[in-house]
Amino acid sequence: MTYGSYLGLEKILEAQHPLSEPEHHDEMLFIIQHQTTELWLKLALHELDSARRLLAEDQLRAALKRVARIKHIQEVMTQQWSVLATLTPSEYLQFRGSLASASGFQSVQYRAVEFALGNKNARMLAVFDSEPENHRMLEAELHRPSLYDEFLRHLARHGWEVPEDILTRDVTTAHVHDDRLVDLFETVYRDEQAHWSVYEACEELVDLEDNFQFWRFRHLRTVTRTIGRKTGTGGSSGVDFLKRALDLTFFPELYTVRTRLG
């Protein structure tokens, strides 16, 4: 066993294949940036899988350890955009055509992370109709309770009055804001010392969502800086599509409760 064989470096380091002719210097940056992002997404999914299993077993503190690691992963992914932002519009245009219809919109792992956090959208499965393995993976994630679902179920098992229709909802759809949950979390936030473990978990989830929004915003700014308002390579609306994503939220009641306090 060697360092390289343990890590599979031969495969990893030979997985960069620029397609521009003649090969453009900056295409290597573009490829490695997105490959490393996919590796971090794989780890984030690994941690989200574990966090949900631990919540289902009522191991809240262990689940929060997983969430803490995901937050650090998110920070690294956000910082990575600064590397890609060194790619100027004129440099990108010299190899953009090599991408053809390939787009980050087609990242199955990114979709799986969004599903795991609660942004379910069954229509996204159609993007992967020609990729059976990816389609099966994302479909399984669609039917699995999100991190928020498992957290609410954990609360219910520990005496919190989570409405039954929320606990038994169709998990293939995105969670919709419910004032009854705001009432629950208001109780937590008005006396955090008495409900410290739940309070801490709520704030960890807020951190997680904030980090995701920072990543989305940095993505938006990098795309704007590089291609302006052009249509995305996969046919998405580009900047406008990314702007709409900033309005999405995973844990809406944890933000609404802040308006009520004080």
Q: Where are the domains of the chain?
A: 25-91+103-260
Per-residue model confidence as pLDDT tens digits over 85-103 = 999 999 999 999 998 878 8
Round the average pLDDT of the chain to a whole number and report it: 94
Per-residue model confidence as pLDDT tens digits over 213-253 = 999 999 999 999 998 877 766 656 678 778 888 888 999 99
Q: How confident is the model at residue 108 (pLDDT cuts 50, 70, 90)?
A: very high
Q: What is the pLDDT of residue 68?
A: 98
Provide the H-helix boundaries in the chain: 3-7, 9-13, 27-56, 60-84, 89-93, 108-117, 132-142, 147-157, 164-167, 179-190, 196-227, 239-245, 252-260
Average pLDDT value for residue range 68-78? 98
Please state whether the peptide bond connecting residue 22 to the residue before it is cis, i.e. omega within 30 degrees of 0. yes
Average pLDDT value for residue range 28-51? 97
DSSP letter string, 80-111: HHHHHTTS-HHHHHTTGGGGTT--GGG-HHHH
Enumerate the known binding-site residues for heme: 219
Q: What is the pLDDT of residue 231?
A: 75
In CATH, the number for domain 25-91+103-260 is: 1.20.58.480
Q: Which amino acid is at 173?
A: T
Enumerate the known binding-site residues for substrate: 30-34, 92, 96, 233
What's the pTM value of the predicted model, to 2 decimals? 0.93
Enumerate the known binding-site residues: 30-34, 92, 96, 219, 233
Q: Which amino acid is at 251?
A: F
Average pLDDT value for residue range 139-158? 98
CB 31 within 8 A of CB 16: yes
Q: Give the least confident one: 142-146, 150-154, 161-165, 234-238.
A: 234-238
Q: Which amino acid is at 230?
A: K
CB 199 within 8 A of CB 221: no
